[in-house]
């Protein structure tokens, strides 16, 4: 079952790369009492994610800050080593976007967005979406209905909040 | 299933990045009637894989070819998008190493080489080993203990040829 407006995001432990290596992050704890944008996507270094989705949040990062968003998080079912390299390669990390690894896929599964495209080597990944959470509760929910990146992009989410 | 000289590897379908995007290849087709090297590691962009394991095969690629090795394959439980980016950033692709994604981890599991380290975000990944395959039959094998990158490096395998 996919989450939606008004739902509390499921508890999940994700991973963040630090100077001392990967560190677990209790997502529910991280969201508590804060306004946070999360966008999720199929995978680091894949086409639309690198050329469209991440850049749209780099462009709008300041816009979200101006609207009182405390943090913008990019989540993918990848490991923290890959997320770290991808954050650097795309410029997302430099733009202040936090790259978190949903390495086990537990969060993507919990929000009902898990999918696979075996012929492209993508197994148990996350469908594309963007959301705004306030105190861990979904206030804006923008799942991408088709291929591509329109409603789940930075501009569309920024406009909705 | 164990890796031993005279034995074979399990049949596998790997993802590989082609000119038109990801494609699926069969291990049997890559090894039939040819002499090739295959080495496996825990993951793209992880420490020893990037700094020790792949570089050891970059250094020895020409020596392997001089000894009649037709191709060198690097296998990891990653998708072909990540492996393409990593192959380029490590210099592995430029050295003629072909990166194969065991995207669903089924080959690694069938081989009994899988491990999971959730605290660093690695699920169902591969321990390190390197083999020479002659028409699909294991002609030489160096299998490292979990967590170690010692005898599965290029130089050690080359010494067995």
Kindly name the residue from A17, A49, A73, A149 that is annotated as catalytic: A49
Q: With an 8 Å Cβ cutoff, are A121 and B81 in contact?
A: yes
The whole-number pLDDT of residue A147 equals 80
Give the residue from chain B lying closest to A50, CA to CA.
B81
**Is it the case that residue A49 has pLDDT exceeding 80?**
no
The whole-number pLDDT of residue A125 equals 97
For B55, the domain range is: 13-158
**Is it the case that residue B1 has pLDDT exceeding 80?**
no
- The number of folded domains in chain B is 1
In a domain, residue A8? The reply is no
Our CA-based measurement puts residue A17 at a distance from the nearest CA of chain B, in whole angstroms, of: 9
**ipTM of the modeled complex:** 0.94
Q: With an 8 Å Cβ cutoff, are A122 and B103 in contact?
A: yes
pLDDT band at B116 (very low <50, low <70, confident <90, very high): very high
In a domain, residue B120? The reply is yes
Close Cβ partners of B100 (under 8 Å, ≥ 6 residues apart): B14, B15, B16, B25, B73, B74, B75, B76, B83
In a domain, residue A102? The reply is yes
The whole-number pLDDT of residue A50 equals 77
Which residues of B are annotated as catalytic? 49
Question: Which residues in chain B are contacts of A88 at CB distance < 8 A?
Answer: none
Tell me, yes or no, if B75 comes closer than 8 A to chain A by beta carbon: no
Least confident of A4-18, A96-110, B5-19, B39-53: B39-53
Cα–Cα distance list, A83 to A36, A41, A140, B43, B102 (Å): 19, 12, 25, 12, 19
Which CATH number goes with the domain that contains A87? 3.40.30.10
Q: With an 8 Å Cβ cutoff, are A103 and B121 in contact?
A: yes
The helix or strand, by DSSP H or E, that contains position A123, with its residue range, turns out to be strand A122-126
- The number of folded domains in chain A is 1
For A28, the domain range is: 13-160
Give me the mean pLDDT over the B135-158 stretch: 94
In a domain, residue A82? The reply is yes
The whole-number pLDDT of residue A47 equals 84
DSSP A128: P
Mean pLDDT of chain A: 96
pLDDT tens-digit map of B61-89: 999 999 999 999 999 999 999 999 999 99
In a domain, residue A62? The reply is yes
Give me the mean pLDDT over the B89-112 stretch: 97
Q: Name which of B21, B104, B121 is nearest A118 (Cβ-Cβ).
A: B104
In a domain, residue B2? The reply is no
Close Cβ partners of A138 (under 8 Å, ≥ 6 residues apart): A3, A4, A5, A6, A7, A8, A9, A131, A132
Tokens of B37: 């090297």
Give me the mean pLDDT over the B129-154 stretch: 95
Tell me, yes or no, if B79 comes closer than 8 A to chain A by beta carbon: yes
Question: Which residues in chain A are contacts of B120 at CB distance < 8 A?
Answer: 15, 21-22, 79-80
Which CATH number goes with the domain that contains B136? 3.40.30.10
In a domain, residue B5? The reply is no
Q: With an 8 Å Cβ cutoff, are B82 and A43 in contact?
A: yes
Residues A100, A102: Cα–Cα separation, whole Å: 7
Which of B79, B84, B126 to probe the A interface (max A CBs under 10 A)? B79
Give me the mean pLDDT over the B44-73 stretch: 94
pLDDT band at B50 (very low <50, low <70, confident <90, very high): confident
pLDDT tens-digit map of A96-106: 999 999 999 99
Q: Quick count: other Cβ atoms within 10 Å of Cβ A13?
A: 17
Q: With an 8 Å Cβ cutoff, are B81 and A43 in contact?
A: yes
In a domain, residue A86? The reply is yes
**Helices assigned H by DSSP within A14-135:** 27-31, 47-48, 54-66, 80-90, 106-110
Q: Name which of A21, A81, A122 is nearest B79 (Cβ-Cβ).
A: A122
Which pairing describes strands A71-76 and A35-41: parallel, antiparallel, or unpaired? parallel
Which pairing describes strands B129-134 and B35-40: parallel, antiparallel, or unpaired? antiparallel
Q: With an 8 Å Cβ cutoff, are A85 and B89 in contact?
A: yes
In a domain, residue B4? The reply is no
Q: With an 8 Å Cβ cutoff, are A45 and B120 in contact?
A: no
Tell me, yes or no, if A118 comes closer than 8 A to chain B by beta carbon: yes
What is the greatest pairwise CA distance in chain A?
42
Task: Report residue A75 CA to chain centroid gap.
Answer: 3
**Is it the case that residue A139 has pLDDT exceeding 90?**
yes
The whole-number pLDDT of residue A65 equals 98
Q: Name which of A86, A101, A120 is nearest B121 (Cβ-Cβ).
A: A101
Cα–Cα distance list, B108 to A81, A143, B77, B129, B150 (Å): 20, 34, 8, 11, 19
């Amino acid at each position: 079952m996919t989450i939606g407006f008004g739902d509390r995001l499921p508890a999940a432990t994700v991973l963040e790369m630090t100077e001392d290596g990967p560190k677990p992050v209790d997502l529910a704890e991280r969201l508590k009492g804060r306004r946070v944008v999360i966008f999720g996507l199929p995978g680091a270094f894949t086409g639309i994610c690198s050329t469209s989705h991440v850049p749209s949040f780099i462009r709008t990062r300041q816009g979200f800050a101006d609207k009182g968003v405390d943090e913008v998080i990019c989540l993918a079912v990848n490991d923290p080593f890959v997320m770290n390299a991808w954050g650097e390669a795309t410029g997302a990390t430099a733009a202040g976007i936090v790259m978190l690894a949903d390495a086990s896929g537990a969060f993507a599964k919990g929000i009902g967005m898990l999918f696979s495209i075996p012929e492209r080597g993508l197994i148990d990944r996350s469908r594309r979406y963007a959301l705004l959470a306030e105190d861990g509760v979904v206030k804006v929910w923008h799942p991408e209905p088709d291929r591509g990146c329109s409603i789940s992009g930075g501009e569309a989410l920024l406009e909705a909040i | 299933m164990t890796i031993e000289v005279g034995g074979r590897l399990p049949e596998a379908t790997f993802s590989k990045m082609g000119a038109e995007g990801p494609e699926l290849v069969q291990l049997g087709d890559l090894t039939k009637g040819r002499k090739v090297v295959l080495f496996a590691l825990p993951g793209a962009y992880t420490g020893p894989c990037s700094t020790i394991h792949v570089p050891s095969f970059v250094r020895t690629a020409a020596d392997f070819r001089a000894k009649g090795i037709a191709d060198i394959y690097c296998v990891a439980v990653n998708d072909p998008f990540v492996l393409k980016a990593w192959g380029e950033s490590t210099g592995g692709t430029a050295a003629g190493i072909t990166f194969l994604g065991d995207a669903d981890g089924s080959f690694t599991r069938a081989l009994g080489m899988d491990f999971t380290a959730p605290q660093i975000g690695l699920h169902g990944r591969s321990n390190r080993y390197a083999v020479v395959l002659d028409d699909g039959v294991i002609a030489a094998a160096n299998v490292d203990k979990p967590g170690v990158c010692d005898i599965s490096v290029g130089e050690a395998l080359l010494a067995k040829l």
